[in-house]
Amino acid sequence: MNSNGFAIDVRDVTKKFGSRTVVNHIAMQVRHGEIYGFLGPNGSGKTTFLRMLCGLLRPDAGSGQCLGLDFRTQSGEIKKRVGYMTQRFSFYEDLSLEENLDFIARIYSVPDRKSAVDKSLERLGMTERRKQLAGQLSGGWKQRLALSACLIHEPQLLLLDEPTAGVDPKARRDFWDEIHRLAAAGLTVLITTHYMDEAERCHRLAYIAYGNLLAGGTVPDVLKNAKLTTWEVTGNDLPALAEKLRGKPGIEQIVAFGSTLHVSGRDETALRESATPFMTGAWRWQPIPSGLEDVFISLMETAKDNFS
Amino acid sequence: MRFNWQRFWAIVAKEFIQMRRDRLTFGMMVGIPMLQLILFGYAINSDPKHLPTAVHSADNSIFSRTLVWALRNSSYFDITREVQTEAEGQQLLARGQVQFLVEIPVDFSRNLLRGDKPDLLLEADATDPTAVGFAISAVNSLAATALNRDLTGPLMKLRASPAPFNLVIHQHYNPENITQYNIVPGLMGVMLTMTMIIITGLAITRERERGTMENLLSTPVHPGEVIIGKIVPYIAVGYIQVFLILLAAKFLFDVPMIGSLTLLLIMTFLFIVANLAVGITFSTIARNQLQAVQMAFFFFLPSLLLSGYMFPFRGMPVWAQDIGECLPLTHYLRVVRGILLKGNGAAQIAPDLWPIALFLIIMLAIGIKRYRQTLD
């Protein structure tokens, strides 16, 4: 199968659990060497989609290729070329770091296992902790171990399912630096996350809610296509203002950010009309660019109206 | 802090909700007492009657027929076979197809009438002393009076007590009625059943419960590699148990070891694998480790009670024997006792080989069919 320069190129991917459609005709194209962010609320089908890509779940419909292999019929071959990092730590807590890595290296039939394990320990700075049991590691170290185990067989594609959940900011930044280094070396990375700062570090994004793909592209594309207008309000007694604005036509989101209020909506005219009576004295209104989070929440609200 | 009724009721209510959600535990709480009630109430009988008995009668006379009739009438003996030679009868005893063999010698009636007190030989498979104990005491008391009906007229003088013939009882395989000889080899099967099923039952559910299964399934590993890979280490563990029990049997309990140990170890392999297959199958069904242990217990209890380990197999009603025949432990117990105490060879244990093999094939088929390579 021709890969057309895409590491992942799938269409109409659908998965049902009983009568519930968890992933609904999703298409995705990820280029080689790209870091592709996959966002969406909890239960939106991100994990299910990743699991279908690496053969853990059988899709009900869909077609396409993953690393040049048919993702529905060649999952055995795909598994050999993919590193999948689960949401929950899924290595053996009663095995040491070294034993875990050695086990994974054996499962993937890595040539020259010993040096692969050593190299992997060294790269992640865990050489002196090699005998420690994985269960005794802190969250950040567990995440590093999981990443290094996913990489031991030198995969061409990394599927990372919320890899940085519960990890401190420093460890998260180190993690992302590593991801960028790997991508620069040619590895393709598909990563799910809830963090907006992480979304902004991806080359391209897809946003999924209730099983449907709602937006995609680069961060500026997503922001531009959302056509969301946002005003920042400063002044006295903002909670009272928020109460007054809530439910007015055109006003879709009112979010407190410290001592400011962000008011946004898709219908710019309606928003302005509703806001005008309050643009006086105590309150100062100022248009600002919408943030990714505002956009995603707006997308999610729309999706709720359309699909549920 | 004072005892607060509201807090207390919060805990009680929560426990009930959780109990209701966990169907299997709830089923255990109701099912185990029912199972025990039925097994102990109806199936278990420590005074077994209707034991299969073979008769080798070299003397076809009214006396021998009366004796056979009297044995049957005692309700302890069911005459299931009439054999032509003594060797044939011995073979039936060795295979465990009959519990007793009655030998009526040539010229029994002639010697009886002469007042020469001929021997009447009752050979018993006494591997399990409790299985034959009551029957042997019954036959002793019946011997004295059994022939009285036929000893009329001029033969009245033969009615004297003790009996007009010598009742000779040969208790084979365990002549001293040492319970340990029966229990210790049997324990090997019981231990293997319990530990093998629980250990492997946990093996796959643990991966699922800890989330490591998801990781394993995302690798190129094949289901056969996982299942066989998980079984092999426990085969080794099973053999360690077998060696420990055999050593104890030999040096602590002086259990005779007449047959071939090699044959025993080969049969043990089949039995261990059969039990591991049960465990693997359970672990593909159970959702967590607790459920796997509960299922193992559900299997273990009938195995313990209906296999003939704790209570004589032939003391149970037919339906309980039928269930027992389906369990690998029942057949393994016959094999172990047969090899160690009776010195049985391959020919004699063959009838117990195929039920274990059949059980293994069925369990493996279910296990592999149920093992899912995806998380669907």
Residue B130 phi, psi (nearest 5): -70, -25
**Cα radius of gyration (chain A):** 22
Does the CB of B221 have a partner CB in chain A at under 8 Å?
A: yes
Could you tell me which of A181, A201, A191, A183 has the C-alpha nearest to residue A87?
Answer: A191
12-51 of A, contacting B, C-beta below 8 A: 51
Q: Name the residue in chain B with its Cα closest to that of A109.
A: B220
- Quote the CA–CA distance of A43 and A48 in Å, as a whole number: 9
What's the count of helices (H) and strands (E) in chain B, helices before strands? 14, 5
Q: Which residues pair with A192 in a beta bridge?
A: A38, A161
What 3-state DSSP class applies to B122? strand
What 3-state DSSP class applies to B51? strand
- Quote the CA–CA distance of A282 and B251 in Å, as a whole number: 97
Answer whether residue A1 shows pLDDT above 50: no
Q: Which residues pair with B101 in a beta bridge?
A: B54, B123
Answer whether residue B200 shows pLDDT above 60: yes
Using CA atoms, how far residue B261 sits from A52, A239, B173, B337, in Å, is 52, 86, 17, 12
Render pLDDT for A20-36 as a digit per residue (tens, 0 to 9).
889 999 999 999 999 99
Q: What is the pLDDT of residue B139?
A: 84
pLDDT, mean of residues A51-72: 92
A-B CB pairs within 8 A amount to 48
Domain boundaries, chain B: 51-172, 179-370
Q: A57, B221: Cβ pair inside 8 Å?
A: no
Q: Which positions in chain B touch A55 (Cβ < 8 Å)?
A: 217-218, 374
Q: What is the pLDDT of residue A307?
A: 62
Pairing of strands A204-209, A212-217: antiparallel
- Is the omega angle on the peptide bond into residue A277 within 30 degrees of 0, that is, cis? no
Pairing of strands A283-288, A188-193: unpaired
Q: What residue spans of chain A are helical by DSSP H?
A: 46-53, 75-81, 97-107, 113-123, 139-151, 169-184, 196-199, 219-226, 238-245, 268-275, 292-307
Q: Which residues pair with B119 in a beta bridge?
A: B166
Does the CB of B372 have a partner CB in chain A at under 8 Å?
A: no
- Quote the CA–CA distance of B342 and B95 in Å, as a whole number: 9
B51-172: CATH superfamily: abc type-2 transporter like domain (3.40.1710.10)
Contact at 8 Å (CB) between B54 and B80? yes
Does the CB of B208 have a partner CB in chain A at under 8 Å?
A: no
- CA B193 to chain A, closest CA, distance in angstroms equals 27
The rounded percent of chain B whose pLDDT value lies above 70 is 97
Higher-scoring residue by pLDDT: B162, B201: B201
Amino acid at B58: A
Answer whether residue B85 shows pLDDT above 70: yes
SS (H, E, C) A64-105: EEECCEECCCCHHHHHHHEEEECCCCCCCCCCEHHHHHHHHH
Q: A79, B218: Cβ pair inside 8 Å?
A: yes
Does the CB of B214 have a partner CB in chain A at under 8 Å?
A: yes
Render pLDDT for B101-122 as a digit per residue (tens, 0 to 9).
999 988 888 888 888 888 889 9
Angle at A24 between CA A18 and CA A25, to 5 degrees: 130
pTM as predicted = 0.79
A229-289: CATH superfamily: VP9 protein domain (3.30.70.2070)
Which residue in A81, A82, A86 has the most chain B C-beta atoms within 10 A of its own C-beta, making it the best mutation to test that interface?
A86
Answer whether residue A7 shows pLDDT above 80: yes
Q: A82, B218: Cβ pair inside 8 Å?
A: yes
- Quote the CA–CA distance of A90 and B53 in Å, as a whole number: 61
Could you tell me which of B231, B324, B320, B335 has the C-alpha nearest to residue B275?
Answer: B231
Higher-scoring residue by pLDDT: B23, B355: B355
Higher-scoring residue by pLDDT: B141, B10: B10
Strand A69-70: give its sheet, edge to edge.
A20-31, A6-17, A61-66, A69-70
Higher-scoring residue by pLDDT: B20, B268: B268
Q: What is the pLDDT of residue B371?
A: 76
Render pLDDT for B278-330 as a digit per residue (tens, 0 to 9).
998 898 888 888 889 989 988 998 899 899 888 888 888 889 999 999 999 99
Could you tell me which of B176, B48, B177, B168 has the C-alpha nearest to residue B101?
Answer: B168
A6-223: CATH superfamily: P-loop containing nucleotide triphosphate hydrolases (3.40.50.300)
Q: B214, A104: Cβ pair inside 8 Å?
A: no
A88 closest CB neighbour out of B211, B216, B376: B211
B211 closest CB neighbour out of A79, A80, A90: A90
Render pLDDT for B351-367 as a digit per residue (tens, 0 to 9).
999 999 999 999 988 88
pLDDT, mean of residues B22-45: 80
The rounded percent of chain B whose pLDDT value lies above 90 is 26
What 3-state DSSP class applies to B218? coil
Mean pLDDT over all residues of chain A?
90
Using CA atoms, how far residue A42 sits from A46, A47, A90, A211, A296, in Å, is 8, 9, 20, 11, 13
Q: The tokens of A211 are what?
A: 């099983």
Q: Which positions in chain B touch A88 (Cβ < 8 Å)?
A: 211, 214
Render pLDDT for A235-266 as a digit per residue (tens, 0 to 9).
888 888 899 898 888 898 998 888 899 999 98
Answer whether residue A308 shows pLDDT above 60: no
- Quote the CA–CA distance of B121 and B101 in Å, as a whole number: 8
Which residue in A22, A23, A48, A51 has the most chain B C-beta atoms within 10 A of its own C-beta, making it the best mutation to test that interface?
A51
Domain boundaries, chain A: 6-223, 229-289
Does the CB of B322 have a partner CB in chain A at under 8 Å?
A: no
Could you tell me which of B229, B198, B273 has the C-alpha nearest to residue B371?
Answer: B229
- CA B19 to chain A, closest CA, distance in angstroms equals 26
b/e code B214-240 from CB counts within 10 Å (16+ = b): bbbbbbbbeeeebbeebbeebeeebee
